[in-house]
Structure 1
Amino acid sequence: MTRKVFIISGPAGVGKSTTSKILAQQLVKSAHISGDTISYMPVSGYEKPWLSEQAKDLVWNNIVSLSNNFLDAGYDVIIDWVAFWEDVQSYATEWIVQGIEVKYVILWADADIHVSRDLQRAASIQMGERVLILRDEFLSSGAPAQYFLDNSSDNPENIFIKIVEDPQFLLFD
């Protein structure tokens, strides 16, 4: 059975965590890796990964290491993080070469939906204007349009089916 890695990305407030949790629960044997959780592991000396290349690389290296451990144990892996096209190409190549199926999905919605979803979060984790900054970064990242999945009006279960069944999200080396 082919092992799988799903990289669920997109701007803040688009539903990455919700979608990733549903996906992880529906798969037979899976692990959910939150890039946000990993990024907050450093206690002293913490740097924001969007402001520090070193911090971003540390998060990615930890994501890859954890993913490899789970893949070696026969798990499918769901990575939930703001993962840009350039980084996905760089870090996912090794998995593709090993014959692991990698899918990359950039969840997307109208700007007002992103902002509204962010405002529904606890005040301590709201991203504010960063939501709109991330939207612009994704649009200018060079990611092919095939990896964008609009979840403005679809329920999470339908999104799950599209991610699992649609070959448009497959990465190739």
Structure 2
Amino acid sequence: MIGRGEVVIVSGPPGSGKTTVSAALASDYERGVHLESDWFFRSIRSGFVAPWLPDAHSQNAAVMVAAADAAAAYADAGYGVVWDGIVGPWFLDQVVRRLEDREIGVQYLVLRPGRVTASQRVRGRGDTPETSGAETMYDQFADLGEFEPHVISSDAPAEQVIEACRAALANGSLEVRLHP
């Protein structure tokens, strides 16, 4: 799949299957890391702003930097890194630049189920009492413009989605570069 010095970002709206897919992809490596950026949000103990709110931009940017630096540290140490998180195109340049500056390649994979599927998955979680943020984030992934070719439908059973992701990563079509 990927080698040393590369990070696979698995993104998409809540309920898209990021965590399931990322865990499987990270397990494919002899030395693999499943880096969940939700952990970086959960680490904020005071001053937290729900990430989908407009006032959260500076917080979200700080989380992207922290997660990118953690991913880079693992990649530098020879781990295959699969970053599981809501990394939209609006932060992708910042993240890719940070990783490229350390000579780390990036592949960007976006999982996107249908709206109903995503909503059902989010509601099925016991720890998500409020889902309006998930709806907002779903809308942000509805049209990714130039990154639309990076989208993999995640409506199918998990193993089929994982295999589709493995195939897309293997053919190199998900690579993102700022400096060719």
Report the TM-score, using the length of structure 2 for normalisation.
Answer: 0.85
Q: Does 1:107 align with 2:111?
A: yes
Change (3 A) 1:143 1:131: farther
Task: Give the letter aligned to residue 138 of structure 2.
Answer: R
Aligned partner of residue 110 in structure 2, secondary structure: strand
Aligned partner of residue 33 in structure 1, secondary structure: strand
Change (3 A) 1:161 1:140: closer
Q: Does 1:165 align with 2:170?
A: yes
Distance in 2 (alpha carbons) for counterparts of 1:27 and 1:109: 26
Q: Is the 8 A contact 1:34 1:81 kept in 2?
A: yes
Change (3 A) 1:54 1:26: same
Aligned partner of residue 11 in structure 1, secondary structure: coil
Q: Paired residues, what number? A: 172
Distance in 1 (alpha carbons) for counterparts of 2:14 and 2:134: 5
Aligned partner of residue 30 in structure 2, secondary structure: coil
Q: Deviations over 1:24-70 (max 9, x none)?
A: 11112121211111111021222223331121012111102211211
Displacement of 1:149: 0.7
Distance in 2 (alpha carbons) for counterparts of 1:126 and 1:163: 34
Distance in 1 (alpha carbons) for counterparts of 2:11 and 2:78: 23
Report the TM-score, using the length of structure 1 for normalisation.
Answer: 0.88
Q: Deviations over 1:97-147 (max 9, x none)?
A: 55432110110111111111112211x225523333222111245452111
Displacement of 1:18: 0.6
Displacement of 1:150: 0.7
Q: Does 1:38 align with 2:40?
A: yes
User: Which residue does 1:15 correspond to in 2?
Assistant: 17
Q: What root-mean-square deviation, in Å, do the aligned CA atoms of Structure 1 and Structure 2 show?
A: 2.0
Q: Is the 8 A contact 1:12 1:127 kept in 2?
A: no
* Structure 1 stretches of at least 4 aligned residues deviating more than 4 Å after TM superposition: none
Displacement of 1:163: 4.0
User: Which residue does 1:136 correspond to in 2?
Assistant: 139
